[in-house]
Amino acid sequence: MIFRLWQNQLPDSVELCAIRLPGRGASVHEPHFTRMESLIPVVAETILPACDKPFAFFGHSMGAMVAFEMARHLRREKGLEPVQLFVSGRRAPHLPDTDQRTYELPDAKFIEELRRIKGTPDEVLSNPELMQMIIPTIRADFEVCHTYQWIPEKPLSCGIVAYGGLGDEEEDKKKIEAWREVTTGPFSVRMFPGDHFFIHTSEALLLRALAKDLYQIVSGLN
């Protein structure tokens, strides 16, 4: 999990808590979530003990949607809200998803799609045994995204920082900027070199921006 490696690049006053969904690592044999509405309450209960102090959420792609819905769930059910929401590589949640439901494709075409979006290394895509292990997890993630249903609620009050890739053709700057409409708090956009997976190719730039944003938040709390 790449996020665990970020701790040393963040302010000392920030504790990083990475969330691992079922189907990964030590949880590889647990059933996958395929719907956002079933995923959110379970994850919320898991992280609730860590929400006894000011907290922020960061999520990339599907993770951005999870972070957003987690923020709404905790506000609705527990009266809690993050001090900041960082969303990365994902259009605003109220925008329609016009993408093909790729999670329904046969394995061969599904692998072709993974190769097209360049999110999986070629050496992994070319390894049949490894792909047999990870395809169910990737399909489940795609299904969560493609079956997501936007339900209007009042905007969040926390600030939102939205990150995007300058070369991301599907999640372009206009779609990233639309996150402005789901908060009454401060909002800003930061765009980085790279496509949808700028989180890897521009990791150093992203972490510097994230560290700066977090430092400003922590300083404002003191």
Structure tokens that stand for 168 in this block: 């991301």
Q: Is 39:23 a contact under the CB 8 Å cutoff? A: no
Confidence of residue 102 (pLDDT cuts 50, 70, 90): confident
> What pLDDT sits at residue 28?
67
195 in the Ramachandran plot: left (φ > 0), alpha (ψ -120 to 50) or beta?
beta
- Checking if the pLDDT of 179 tops 80, the result is yes
Confidence at residue 218, expressed as pLDDT on a 0 to 100 scale: 83
Average pLDDT rounded to a whole number, residues 196-210: 94
Q: What's the confidence (pLDDT) of residue 41?
A: 95
Q: How far apart are CA 191 and CA 25, in angstroms?
A: 31
pLDDT of residue 26: 67
Which pLDDT belongs to residue 75? 97
Closest to 57 (Cα-Cα) out of 147, 161, 130, 131: 161
> CATH second-level architecture of 81-97+157-222?
3-Layer(aba) Sandwich (3.40)
Residue 222: strand pairing partners: none
List the domain boundaries for the chain.
Answer: 22-48+99-147, 81-97+157-222
Measured distance CA(160)–CA(181) in Å, rounded: 10
For residue range 90-100, what is the model confidence (pLDDT) as tens digits?
Answer: 999 999 987 77
Q: What is the pLDDT of residue 99?
A: 75
Assigned token pair, 156? 């969040």
Residue 41 vs residue 13, higher pLDDT:
41
State the pTM of this model: 0.93
pLDDT tens column, 143-160: 999 999 999 999 999 999
The answer to whether 137 and 24 have CB atoms below 8 angstroms apart is yes
pLDDT at 209: 95
pLDDT at 158: 96
Q: Are 138 and 115 in contact (CB under 8 A)?
A: no
Is 219:193 a contact under the CB 8 Å cutoff? no
In the set 13, 38, 61, 188, the catalytic residue is 61
> Is 61 a known active-site residue?
yes
